[in-house]
Amino acid sequence: MDAATEHAVVLWPLLLFTAAAIGLILLMLGLSAMLGGRHQSRLGDQPYESGIKPTGSARMRFSAKFYLVAIIFVLFDLEVVFIFAWAIAAPDLGWPGYFAFLFFLGVLTLGLIYEWRIGALDWAPKAPRQYRLEAIESNRARNLQGRS
């Protein structure tokens, strides 16, 4: 067999599969357009919310804190996968693996403490900085008066 024949033998199943996939897609789109429902009503256009009347807009805004906490959750959730993998391989890893695991947990703990300290996990809005500083100063003044 020459090279052109071998190329054609390898290529025709791919072309047949591609044509069949495109044909199936067109058939499904055409049938759904012909057989699908065509009614429009105010009730039918409303979103379905488990039998509860929808309230408000579907385009409501979420606080950036929600996304930050979600990303932190995904990050720590993925770290649990590594902990499970270590637990399975722990007998084979020995003491060096155990110390590497402790180092890994230490880095995770430091990351969690950092996120906690910067307020990434706080949902409630905080007072402006000057109000917090004034509160700190007034507490110091009260503590100093209480000592004397």
Binned at pLDDT 50, 70 and 90, residue 26 comes out as very high
Asked if 122 and 68 touch (Cβ cutoff 8 Å), the reply is no
This prediction has a pTM of 0.44
Asked if 128 and 135 touch (Cβ cutoff 8 Å), the reply is no
Overall average pLDDT of the 74-102 stretch: 89
Cβ within 8 Å of residue 93, ≥6 positions away: 86, 100, 101
* pLDDT greater than 90 at residue 24: yes
pLDDT tens-digit map of 55-76: 777 677 777 778 888 888 888 8
Overall average pLDDT of the 102-119 stretch: 88
